[in-house]
Amino acid sequence: MYIATSRGVLAEADRLGLVEPCRRAGARIVVDTCTYIAPIVAENVRVAMTNSGKWAWYAPGNIGVRAILGSLVECVASARAGEVVRDERLWS
Q: Give the Cβ contact number of residue 36 at 10 Å.
A: 23
pLDDT, residue 48, reads 93
Tell me: do 14 and 58 sit in the same domain: no
Tell me: do 55 and 90 sit in the same domain: yes
User: How far is Cα 15 from Cα 61, in angstroms, rounded to an integer?
Assistant: 36
37 located within any domain: no
Beta strands at 47-50 and 66-69: parallel, antiparallel or unpaired: parallel
Total number of domains in the chain: 2
User: How far is Cα 48 from Cα 45, in angstroms, rounded to an integer?
Assistant: 7
How do residues 22-59 score in pLDDT, each as one tens digit? Answer: 999 999 999 998 888 877 888 888 999 999 999 999 99
Domain hosting residue 57, numbered range: 42-92
Tell me: do 47 and 22 sit in the same domain: no
User: How far is Cα 60 from Cα 36, in angstroms, rounded to an integer?
Assistant: 8
